[in-house]
Amino acid sequence: MNSIPAPTIEYGTLAPLLVVFGAAVIGVLVEAFAPRYLRKSIHVPLTLLSLFGAFALVLVQVLRGQVSTVASAMGAVAVDGPALFIWGVILVLSFVCVLLINDEGHFVASAAAVPGSADEEEAEAEGSGGHTEVYPLVMFAVGGMLLFPASHDLLIMFVALEVMSLPLYLLCGLARRRRLLSQEASMKYFLLGAFSSAFFLYGTAMIYGFAGTVSLPGINQALAANAQLDPLLMLGFSLLGVGLLFKIGAAPFHAWKPDVYQGAPTPITALMASGTLVAAIGAVLRVFWVGLGNLDWNWRPVIWGVAALTMIVGSILAITQTEIKRMLAYSSIAHAGFLLVGVMATFGTAEQNAVSLKAILFYLAVYGITTVGAFAVVTLVRDPGGEAGHLSRWAGLGKRAPMLAGVFAFFLLAFAGIPLTSGFFGKYAVFAAALNSGTQPGDSMGGWMAGLVVVGVVASAIAAFFYVRVIVLMFFSEPAADGPAIAVPSAGTVAVIAVSLLVTVGVGLYPESVLGIANDAARSLFIR
């Protein structure tokens, strides 16, 4: 009788991932056994220390040159240079988002109570400080974000997608203010996310029917061996693409983003707008470049159209928004389009591919930290009913709180890609990589790449309009007599805004530091 061989797990390589998931499990046990009054005092240091520890483990692997050259966990997880870079970015973004989550007043005291009911009032009166299970939920979501872009086969990627998404569905419905709006956002996100997950899983089944494997290198080998396009493959590729593009909020799969961003608690919105986008773009690169690399001529025209549409839709519809979080949501959609320009550029020589990947990684890092800083500012501008979301309430903010308005204006200029900000170098790197990738001999997409860059530049100009509009509103309008109050920031919020500002300014002045790290990471990708 043949024995079943024991699986080999590279615990050292997977240590950052295991630390995050381990902290999440411990957090669940804290919720089950610790008294309520002690839970938050346990959760906060546990969450922050585990995120810091996981980041330190990532640094140890990088500094010791221990970047693996083979997939870990029986070929299921690819901890290569890009994965480690993305892990580091996600862990930093998650750490600063937890500092925002730790502030009082963002989360409801009892999610099960009907909004406005006596039960909810009673829970508020108890002063329980909101839901402490937020912390383990966040840790599970972060663990899913780490596993998603490092998955080396489609089934592990689906598991990571669900581990990342399910906690976020719950967290979106826990806002303390505007409860019905928050619950509506949670329900929309859950329903649409469930559909996208079903598309992803069904697409995985179709591709397995074609290739006989769900391993990304195995799929690539099957494509190389079979030059004839199979209808099963094309159907699976299309369904898989829908699931992935939904997660990054690319048009025409973007409709969930504005409603969810507006209704979710703002710290959770910051986590989704930064960490989730970073993880999803990493997964897109992993699937389209590693798994479907031999389908370049088929998926590149599709991504070209999606990227152009996403940039245009995000930029134009942002102009019509009168709510600050919805405007930032459409801004996020436009930035997803800019990142897809970089994904389009990952087809050429090895040197060109490394340049394109470097640009994408750099963009993810600088955009993520600026986004968290912008949402941190949003949490401080408040009306009696909660955050002052309507743009008219921000009129004259530069005269009421000039320092806060100045910081927010700088973040908006970074989103617009104004020189001397990190956003400028992010867009420049992506557009330059796209133009460079079109110079490969025999590549008929070269002209199309130049056209896509033109679309990106036009979309950036349109986007600059609504960013500048907010700046003009803050500094050149008279404040209303009953204008919003500026909340006294906690030490955590001050730290988040300060770090985001320093990174945005520092990378804008000295981009070489982050570009060098991204370049080293880009040259150690598991390809085929």
Model confidence pLDDT, tens digit, residues 88-114: 999 999 999 999 998 877 787 666 666
d(CA 433, CA 450): 11
Token duo for residue 247: 């997660």
Give SS3 for 487.
coil
Give pLDDT, residue 230. Answer: 81
Q: Which strand ranges, in their side-by-side order, compose the sheet holding 381-383?
A: 386-387, 381-383, 485-486
- With cut-offs at 50, 70 and 90, classify the pLDDT of residue 437: confident
Model confidence pLDDT, tens digit, residues 123-132: 666 655 457 8
What backbone torsions phi and psi does residue 10 show, to the nearest 5 degrees? -85, 85
Give pLDDT, residue 264. Answer: 93
Pair 363, 338: CB distance under 8 Å:
yes
Rg (CA), the chain: 22
Token duo for residue 21: 């998931």
Give SS3 for 521.
helix
Higher pLDDT, 525 or 370: 370
Q: Which residues contact 273 (CB under 8 A, 6 or more apart)?
A: 261, 328, 329, 332, 371, 372, 375
What backbone torsions phi and psi does residue 382 show, to the nearest 5 degrees? -130, 145
Give pLDDT, residue 71. Answer: 82
DSSP states along 411-438: HHHHHHT-TTSHHHHHHHHHHHHHHHHT
Distance of CA 349 to the CA centre of its chain: 28
Token duo for residue 417: 């890609």
- Environment class of residue 354 by beta-carbon count within 10 Å: exposed (0-12), middle (13-18) or buried (19+)? buried
> Which amino acid is it at 161?
L
d(CA 285, CA 361): 11
H or E element in which residue 156 lies: helix 154-171
Kindly list the distances between the CA atom of residue 253 and the CA atoms of 243, 270, 285, 313, 503, in Å, as whole numbers in the listed order. Answer: 9, 20, 18, 11, 31
What backbone torsions phi and psi does residue 154 show, to the nearest 5 degrees? -70, -30
> Which amino acid is it at 409?
A
Kind of pairing, strands 386-387 and 485-486?
A: unpaired
- With cut-offs at 50, 70 and 90, classify the pLDDT of residue 349: low
Q: How many residues are listed for the chain in this entry?
A: 528
Mean pLDDT of 379-388: 83
Model confidence pLDDT, tens digit, residues 262-312: 999 999 999 999 999 999 999 999 998 888 877 766 788 888 999 999 999
DSSP states along 221-244: HHHHH--SPPHHHHHHHHHHHHHH
Say what the alpha-carbon torsion angle 175, 177, 183, 185 is, to the nearest 10 degrees. Answer: -80
Give pLDDT, residue 528. Answer: 40
Q: Which residues contact 312 (CB under 8 A, 6 or more apart)?
A: 251, 337, 455, 459
* pLDDT over threshold 70, residue 342: yes
Give pLDDT, residue 456. Answer: 94
Higher pLDDT, 167 or 526: 167
Give pLDDT, residue 107. Answer: 80
The owner of tokens 């919720």 is: 31
Its pTM stands at 0.94
**Residue 48 burial (CB count, 10 A):** 18
Most confident of 118-132, 223-237, 412-426: 412-426
Nearest to 514 by CA among 367, 373, 407, 414: 367
Give pLDDT, residue 478. Answer: 84
Helices (DSSP H) in 254-349: which residue ranges?
256-263, 266-271, 277-285, 296-319, 324-344
For the chain, give the mean pLDDT. Answer: 88
Token duo for residue 412: 């908006």
Give pLDDT, residue 123. Answer: 62
Query: Which sign does the torsion angle of CA 132, 116, 181, 486 carry?
Result: negative
